[in-house]
A and B are shown apart, each in its own frame.
Chain A
Amino acid sequence: KAGVTQTPRYLIKTRGQQVTLSCSPISGHRSVSWYQQTPGQGLQFLFEYFSETQRNKGNFPGRFSGRQFSNSRSEMNVSTLELGDSALYLCASSLDPNSNQPQHFGDGTRLSIL
């Protein structure tokens, strides 16, 4: 089985721009979660989608949004980028995190804001 695929791997943007990141989960996985990793705050949960519905949301401003398509692929969007949005954005998929199932992570998209 192919693993979780995130594109692009690296991205450079400037303040005020917007960005869209993509995640393809493992085949058969219907849950996709997004995390932000920074040196200062560590790993923080952004949101989780299951069957095209946002089921859980972390404590991030409304500039961070996401969606999930019928094939379980997910995108996250960040609008009006700020310097503090520079981070590694990780996507994880699982069969259903509401059970005792591990999450499988992609290698992330490293976003740099200039």
Chain B
Amino acid sequence: SQQGEEDPQALSIQEGENATMNCSYKTSINNLQWYRQNSGRGLVHLILIRSNEREKHSGRLRVTLDTSKKSSSLLITASRAADTASYFCATFMDTGRRALTFGSGTRLQVQP
């Protein structure tokens, strides 16, 4: 079963706009990671945020983590058509099974 849910399930925006995706999870975590998947391809790691971090930036990406609410958000600024993909959050728990547990994903469409 999946650790949590992402919303929205699908998002369509215009090039240049910002895209925000949210992720919720259920148990305590060691870190939370965001991945991108282009159609028919594998997952590409975007950013990892540790449980003791609140915000992290990488280029046009900004990730926040609120462990009290068990939620995270991914912001993509100044989106481009090439950002069109599915985005997944994945949590890594610090107890029990040490494996990534993925959310259901957000399908982002950036219109040129």
Q: What residues make up the interface of A, taking CB atoms closer than 8 Å to B?
A: 4, 6, 33, 35, 42-45, 48, 55-58, 90, 92, 97-98, 100, 102-108, 110
Contact = CB atoms under 8 A, between A and B. Distances in A.
Nearest to A104: B45
Given A4-B42, A42-B2, A105-B42, A56 B48 contact: no
B99 A97 contact: yes
Interface residues of B, number: 25
Contacts of A90: 42-43
Interface in B46-71: 48, 50
Contacts, number: 63
A108 B45 contact: no
A97 B97 CA distance: 11
28 contacts: A6-B42, A35-B100, A35-B102, A42-B2, A42-B102, A43-B102, A44-B2, A45-B100, A45-B101, A48-B99, A55-B98, A56-B99, A58-B97, A58-B99, A97-B92, A97-B99, A100-B31, A100-B48, A100-B50, A100-B92, A102-B33, A102-B45, A102-B48, A103-B100, A104-B45, A105-B35, A105-B42, A107-B40
